[in-house]
Structure 1
């Protein structure tokens, strides 16, 4: 078991205040968390700058070995990490265990890519008077990275920022979501045990807007990487100036089910339930809008409802639990308001739509108007719409009629149709014959429109955390 009491105590000694960390499922206090001051963030940046000098002096093999070692430590403490995720986020334990497995995989990819970041040779003699020179590019770390992470994947989404930053030789400061800081703090201790230089990875807890602004404004922070809402992301982008930036923002993932896959409708419905309701739908690529060809819509909806109604609400520490409490009461009330609005505007409530202790019953709405909140905004809860379409062309138009563009899924056996969707969907990732709630931790991952700016995915995130330098050697001089 990894003890984080000393880490929290260190932060608390420099803080003048605390806030209560609340268990989302029980709504009971877990513990007091330091409300770090702006001065603490500034001191962390100074420490991070010093740590950067140590990090960039390490060889790629040394950085890779540290990342490999942290994988071993996390694996040895898998249940401890999972219980921490469940405690602070309310995520059912079997999904929390899965998040720990993904975190190990994320750091393994970072360890591999740390040894592979290579430039290229350039033929300068392809240009007039360019002969007599050897030229190449190299990648160099940029310095201190400032990361702001969300509540829904309190360990793996931290890893997606920390892993690439350390792999290339940067230092990093994480400002975790106020609602889920414990996993990020526990990770600090794991890296200490793995031999990471002091202060190369730090966690500062407290108010996001205030502490984030310190990182944005500080001249020694070279990059900001943020996962959260489009509104905050746009504000950050307007303030960062010439810093590097990556924004992983919201989405309302769309899925099309074609009539050509009628023999797989039951299987697709089961996959869609996972996509719509895993971790109570509090996933940025949660399946939110499903468009089904009219010829198979009724059959799909029958299976979809049946599997949804069988989901088990309960204690997130119970391995049989599928859904649990929503992250907070504010989100719970918003979801109820959006469901009510959809029904008032003509949508059909197929199932769910009611409070379930501190959660929301998994909710299916059908034939929902496109201008309602559950259709055009990000639900971030256990609510999904199922609308009928007459053709694939209509589905494509409906799927693209969104301010978001992260992931989209298509089930079809029609190859030309699959290629059309692949090329014409206005999203960063298209999943053919998969639900849109799919992410492998090494794949490129970035959104269009209001869904983001820049790319994550270990190799791709690393390229956004380095400078490329061009070097030419004139051997005829």
Structure 2
């Protein structure tokens, strides 16, 4: 596929292969963009930002509605493309395509709801006769830097609110999975978005990222990815507005009064969906010493029933990791944990980029598989004695994106909600659940700012205070 900037689709002599993670087959090529391409794109996007600023909320809404309708017609095509380039099973690819369409639909709705507020200035001393209100205005150019693991939905979580808020948008997709973002660009143009108002540049993040983040024409950066990269982007960004959706090693607490059947269902889903390559995957499973054995006995056959392999084949539950190097890393971390005293209950074998779903028990909090983000199909079980220890273990991390607890005790549930340091908290479900319209974001090293169209639009617009001095 070609990349799009300066109002046209463009090729380059230097290209990047896009491969199927399962078998390494090349499915397409994309241009290897450069810093010069970013500069040219931003020159056009500056004009696009002026066009978008003048566009009515109604017109922005209609563009997004039409885009959603096109996405609905092409949902099966998008789902298969997502699965082919990223490695998730077809059911998950189709679900992502459906969710992405919903994000664009909600963004269209929110485009019509951008409001300011009246400010009661005459409540201040000496302010009689003053009338105040706020206006929300577009940022200008929004840079959307997106990861490989949700190559369609997470792009929509950035471009939908950006367009709804009246901005131009520059997309920098992950080099492993750029095709979904390019298809979305094609769809937005077909829906009537001015060509000056969108660009999608493919290429290495090391070169393109710096060119994007340091350019003063970019006012807002929305990034999803790892903490080290996010921290570096913040350093380069300077005074720009930033939203950082970063990593996690999500804890799920299984109390002694948990519904074990429901907990097993959740962990089997949350720990291994998308081969564990989800920011809110259930990774640290904290189990009460009173029911640890029963929970593990129930979890093991549920996980062993998962079939790992070719993501495009019916019957596969867990596809490959996006790169074989990532599968090798997961295998290495599992081996290191076992060498440090953890017990491999099941799984852990690797065949190319495919890792068998694994369960590790007797995991100490300081082990790498517990204290860092695994991003692979394995869960790490650690035992606790009471709710105090469970909360302490849950907070024993630099991350804070999502957490879950299973309990029938309302007091325990509320202690969890109040005391666990996490941006998303789930009671009687695991850590991996998200409605695309809800505010979504992390604490600590898991990021700053919120996604979800309504909340992202706030991040992608700026507030002006107007004071009328009446006679």
Task: Please report the TM-score for the alignment, with normalisation by the length of structure 2.
Answer: 0.97
User: Given the alignment, which residue of 118, 123, 127 partners 1:121?
Assistant: 118
Match of residue 217 from structure 1: 214
After the TM superposition, which residues 203-214 of structure 1 pair with which residues of structure 2 at under 5 Å, given as runs?
A: 203-214=200-211
Change (3 A) 1:7 1:394: same
Q: 1:11, 1:36 within 8 Å by CA — same for their partners in 2?
A: no
Match of residue 378 from structure 1: 373
Cα distance in 1 for partners of 2:338, 2:356 equals: 16
1:26 aligns with 2:23: yes
User: Given the alignment, which residue of 271, 277, 283 partners 1:282?
Assistant: 277
Cα distance in 1 for partners of 2:310, 2:164 equals: 38
Match of residue 365 from structure 1: 360
Counting matched residue pairs gives 469
> How far does the alpha carbon of each residue in 1:176-216 deviate from its partner, in whole angstroms, 9 at most, with x for none?
00000000000011111111111322100001121011111
> How far does the alpha carbon of each residue in 1:199-255 deviate from its partner, in whole angstroms, 9 at most, with x for none?
322100001121011111111110111111101111111121111011111100000
Query: Once the 2 structures are TM-superposed, how far is the Cα of residue 12 of structure 1 from its aligned partner?
Result: 4.9
Q: Which runs of 5+ in 2 are unaligned?
A: none
Q: 2:3, 2:182 within 8 Å by CA — same for their partners in 1?
A: no
After the TM superposition, which residues 52-451 of structure 1 pair with which residues of structure 2 at under 5 Å, given as runs?
A: 52-261=49-258, 264-451=259-446
Q: 2:110, 2:453 within 8 Å by CA — same for their partners in 1?
A: yes
Q: Which runs of 5+ in 1 are unaligned?
A: none
Q: Secondary structure of 2:425's partner?
A: strand
Cα distance in 2 for partners of 1:23, 1:11 equals: 24
Cα distance in 2 for partners of 1:53, 1:459 equals: 22
Query: Once the 2 structures are TM-superposed, how far is the Cα of residue 19 of structure 1 from its aligned partner?
Result: 1.8
The runs of 4+ residues in structure 1 deviating greater than 6 Å are none
Cα distance in 1 for partners of 2:64, 2:337 equals: 47
Cα distance in 2 for partners of 1:147, 1:302 equals: 44
Cα distance in 1 for partners of 2:172, 2:236 equals: 17
Q: 1:60, 1:114 within 8 Å by CA — same for their partners in 2?
A: yes
Query: Once the 2 structures are TM-superposed, how far is the Cα of residue 25 of structure 1 from its aligned partner?
Result: 0.8
> How far does the alpha carbon of each residue in 1:71-98 deviate from its partner, in whole angstroms, 9 at most, with x for none?
1100000111011101111111000000
> How far does the alpha carbon of each residue in 1:274-330 deviate from its partner, in whole angstroms, 9 at most, with x for none?
000001000010000001111111111111111100011232122421112111121
Task: Please report the TM-score for the alignment, with normalisation by the length of structure 1.
Answer: 0.96
Q: 2:327, 2:352 within 8 Å by CA — same for their partners in 1?
A: no
Cα distance in 1 for partners of 2:429, 2:110 equals: 27
Cα distance in 2 for partners of 1:421, 1:291 equals: 13
Q: 2:307, 2:316 within 8 Å by CA — same for their partners in 1?
A: yes
Q: Secondary structure of 1:47's partner?
A: helix
Cα distance in 1 for partners of 2:346, 2:272 equals: 13
> How far does the alpha carbon of each residue in 1:88-124 deviate from its partner, in whole angstroms, 9 at most, with x for none?
1111100000001110111111111111111110111
Cα distance in 1 for partners of 2:16, 2:96 equals: 26
Cα distance in 2 for partners of 1:319, 1:442 equals: 31
| Range with bigger deviation, 250-259 or 356-365 | 356-365
Q: Secondary structure of 1:260's partner?
A: coil
Change (3 A) 1:5 1:234: closer
Query: Once the 2 structures are TM-superposed, how far is the Cα of residue 6 of structure 1 from its aligned partner?
Result: 8.3
Q: 1:154, 1:183 within 8 Å by CA — same for their partners in 2?
A: yes
Cα distance in 1 for partners of 2:164, 2:296 equals: 46
Cα RMSD for the two superposed structures: 1.4
| Range with bigger deviation, 162-171 or 447-456 | 447-456
Q: Secondary structure of 1:443's partner?
A: coil
1:39 aligns with 2:31: no
Cα distance in 1 for partners of 2:63, 2:314 equals: 32
Q: 1:255, 1:409 within 8 Å by CA — same for their partners in 2?
A: yes
Q: 1:26, 1:325 within 8 Å by CA — same for their partners in 2?
A: no
Query: Once the 2 structures are TM-superposed, how far is the Cα of residue 32 of structure 1 from its aligned partner?
Result: 2.2
